[in-house]
């Protein structure tokens, strides 16, 4: 099955409460065209979505389910070689791929639900 890096708009991922503040959650979407792996980080009331593929070696970032953040929840951290990414824009600011970026996964909040955009 092909691994997708985009999703159609309007797919409901779930209610806001699915992702408590300062946590992240993995999503796998089975679509006709293939399978999409992504994750959403909640920082305060802002939600940021990314394709689950590290800019260093294209591995999925978390080796443990939903473990995408540093212990203080200030950055996204890849579990393989420690790449550190800014939550707000996915830019790598530490580790082996400084300056590279995670691929954004556009999401939105609509009527209390997180949806793909
Ligand atoms: S694959 Fe993520 S830091 Fe190497």
In this structure, which residue's CA is closest to atom 1 in ligand 1? 57
Q: pLDDT band for 1, please (50, 70, 90 cuts).
A: confident
Give the nearest ligand 1 atom to 79 CA: 2
What pLDDT is attached to residue 2? 84
Strand partners, 49: 40
Q: List, for residues 48-83, the tens digit of each pLDDT value.
A: 999 999 999 999 999 999 999 999 999 999 999 999
- How would DSSP label each residue in 51-70? ES--TTT---S-SSTT--B-
Which has the closest alpha carbon to 102: 61, 72, 62, 42? Answer: 61
What pLDDT is attached to residue 88? 98
Say how many Å lie between the CA of residue 85 and the centre of ligand 1. 11
Which has the closest alpha carbon to 24: 82, 76, 86, 60? Answer: 76
What pLDDT is attached to residue 18? 96
Dihedral over alpha carbons 85, 45, 24, 15 (to 10 degrees): -150
Strand partners, 26: 39
In this structure, which residue's CA is closest to atom 4 in ligand 1? 81
Contact 103/2 with Cβ under 8 angstroms? no
Q: List, for residues 3-61, the tens digit of each pLDDT value.
A: 999 999 999 999 999 999 999 999 999 999 999 999 999 999 899 999 999 999 999 99
């Amino acid at each position: 099955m092909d691994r997708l890096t985009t999703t159609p708009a309007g797919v409901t991922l779930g209610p806001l409460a699915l992702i408590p503040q300062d946590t992240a959650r993995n999503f796998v979407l089975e679509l006709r065209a293939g399978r999409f792996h992504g994750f959403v980080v909640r920082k305060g009331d802002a939600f940021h979505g990314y394709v689950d593929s590290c800019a260093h070696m294209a591995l999925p970032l978390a080796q443990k389910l939903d473990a995408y953040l540093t212990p203080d929840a200030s950055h996204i951290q890849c579990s393989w070689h420690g790449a550190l990414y800014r939550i707000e824009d996915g830019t790598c600011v530490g580790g082996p791929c400084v300056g590279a970026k995670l691929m954004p996964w556009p999401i939105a909040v609509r009527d209390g639900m997180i949806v793909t955009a």
